[in-house]
């Protein structure tokens, strides 16, 4: 079983598809979780991984209906494809309440009051990691300038990957950021601007995402999670492999130019989404996958029994 679109996903699928076993032994099945997603941009390394993995897979587990259409258009037999929902949303729904036990809002001075009820001050959350965005200094700077208006009115929390932090230093972009927790230095309220912080653990990040006024990202998964949480999202990319986040969710594509980002942020700050979650994003995707795997393995074993050569002694006994 392989998940998503990272390099290890395609590596495992390729090795399994070529594995050499003794004669008569069936090749292991390849099951791909999160199949069928397409940005139609082969310049994205993840897109290549997605396409090749799907065509190597025997069982394809799809998160949204666009995946069914994509796989059909690529000629993958329908009996190998299953719409099951989204396992990442399973994790989110299982952890959503527990995330409120995180102290991250206190550490960043973003919590209102201390009466037991979690009320966050207005802030935005930012993630950037795609090479197309952070490896090109002109595009990186354009994105940061597009955030200028938002940064003037809100604290923007930016958990930055060490690689992204290195690019910021290399390109001389430090002036776009602040250091130290918002609300520190004796201030009673969080400071506006983009606050660089280290990468956060899952529950801390989920807490930040859940209570944000707005999320700006280039991540595919965060587009899905904000849709489930009902948090307005601006995606700084030209395309998305998760169109359901736009058609039924909270997400808008802004591109990577300053003007588009400014307009998208203004639009999303006016939004208060009450959209229902996409079909089958109900926290039960993993259970559906297990049921299908058990059914498929039962069928495979039945076929093995039917096609397995009968031992010579048993064959003579049967003839007698």
* First-to-final CA distance of the chain: 45
Within 10 angstroms of residue 150's Cβ, the number of other Cβ atoms is 25
45 contacts 129 by C-beta, under 8 angstroms: no
**For the purposes of burial, counting CB atoms within 10 Å of the CB of 232, is it exposed (0-12), middle (13-18) or buried (19 or more)?**
buried
Q: What angle do CA 22, 306, 57 make, to 5 degrees?
A: 55
Mean pLDDT, to the nearest integer, of 165-171? 95
Annotated catalytic residue: which of 32, 55, 129, 154? Answer: 129
Mean pLDDT, to the nearest integer, of 150-171? 95
**Each residue of 37-50: pLDDT tens digit?**
999 999 899 999 99
pLDDT score at 49: 98
pLDDT score at 297: 87
Question: Where are the chain's structural domains?
Answer: 2-84+284-319, 102-269
In angstroms, the CA 132 to CA 61 distance is 28
299 contacts 79 by C-beta, under 8 angstroms: no
pLDDT score at 116: 54
pLDDT score at 314: 44
For residue 117, give both structure tokens: 């009820």
The DSSP symbol for 4 reads T
Give 276's pLDDT tier (boundaries 50, 70, 90): confident
Q: What angle do CA 311, 312, 317 make, to 5 degrees?
A: 100
261 contacts 255 by C-beta, under 8 angstroms: yes
Give 313's pLDDT tier (boundaries 50, 70, 90): very low
Domain 2-84+284-319 and domain 102-269 have a common topology: yes
pLDDT score at 69: 97
Residue 315 has pLDDT above 50, yes or no: no
In angstroms, the CA 180 to CA 309 distance is 71
Helix (H, G, I), strand (E, B) or coil at 49: helix
Report, in this order, helix, strand and coil percent for the chain, each rounded to 5.
50, 15, 40
- Taking CA atoms, 102 is separated from 106, 110, 204, in Å, by 9, 12, 6
Within 10 angstroms of residue 248's Cβ, the number of other Cβ atoms is 16
- Taking CA atoms, 207 is separated from 117, 182, 204, 221, in Å, by 14, 17, 5, 15
pLDDT score at 271: 81
Mean pLDDT, to the nearest integer, of 150-169? 95
In angstroms, the CA 176 to CA 165 distance is 12
Check if 176 is active-site. Answer: no
CATH topology classification for 2-84+284-319: Rossmann fold (3.40.50)
**Each residue of 96-151: pLDDT tens digit?**
999 999 999 999 999 876 555 667 899 999 999 999 999 999 999 999 999 999 99
* Residue 111 bridge partners (DSSP): 120
In angstroms, the CA 198 to CA 90 distance is 26
111 contacts 121 by C-beta, under 8 angstroms: yes
CATH of the domain spanning 102-269: 3.40.50.2000
The rounded mean pLDDT for the chain is: 90
**Each residue of 173-212: pLDDT tens digit?**
999 998 655 554 445 456 799 999 999 999 999 999 999 9
pLDDT score at 255: 97
Between 34 and 310, residue with greater pLDDT? 34
pLDDT score at 21: 82
């Amino acid at each position: 079983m392989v998940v998503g679109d990272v390099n290890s996903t395609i590596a495992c699928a390729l090795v399994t598809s070529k594995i050499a076993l003794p004669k008569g032994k069936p090749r292991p099945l390849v099951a791909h979780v999160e199949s069928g997603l397409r940005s139609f941009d082969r310049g994205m390394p993840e897109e290549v991984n997605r396409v090749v993995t799907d065509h190597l897979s025997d069982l394809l587990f799809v998160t949204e209906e666009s995946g069914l259409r994509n796989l059909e258009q690529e000629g993958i037999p329908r009996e190998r494809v299953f719409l099951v929902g989204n396992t990442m949303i399973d994790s989110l729904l299982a952890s959503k309440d527990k995330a409120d036990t995180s102290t991250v809002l206190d550490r960043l001075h973003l919590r209102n009051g201390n009466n037991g009820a979690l009320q966050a001050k207005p802030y935005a959350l930012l993630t950037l990691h795609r090479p197309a965005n952070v490896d090109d200094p002109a595009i990186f700077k354009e994105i940061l300038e597009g955030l200028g208006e938002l940064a003037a009115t809100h604290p923007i929390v930016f958990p930055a990957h060490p690689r992204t932090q290195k690019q910021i230093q290399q390109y001389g972009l430090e002036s776009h950021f602040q250091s130290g927790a918002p609300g520190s230095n004796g201030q009673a309220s969080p400071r506006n601007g983009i606050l660089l912080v280290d990468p956060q653990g899952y529950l801390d990040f989920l807490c930040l995402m859940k209570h944000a006024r707005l999320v700006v990202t280039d991540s595919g998964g965060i587009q899905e999670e904000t849709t489930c949480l009902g948090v307005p999202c601006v995606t700084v990319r030209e395309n998305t492999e998760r169109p359901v986040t736009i058609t039924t969710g909270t997400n808008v594509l802004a591109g990577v130019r300053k003007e588009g980002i400014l307009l998208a942020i203004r639009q999303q700050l006016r939004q208060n989404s009450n959209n229902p979650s996409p079909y089958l994003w109900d926290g039960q995707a993993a259970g559906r996958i297990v049921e299908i795997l058990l059914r498929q393995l039962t069928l495979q074993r039945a076929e093995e029994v039917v096609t397995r050569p009968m031992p010579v002694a048993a064959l003579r006994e049967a003839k007698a």
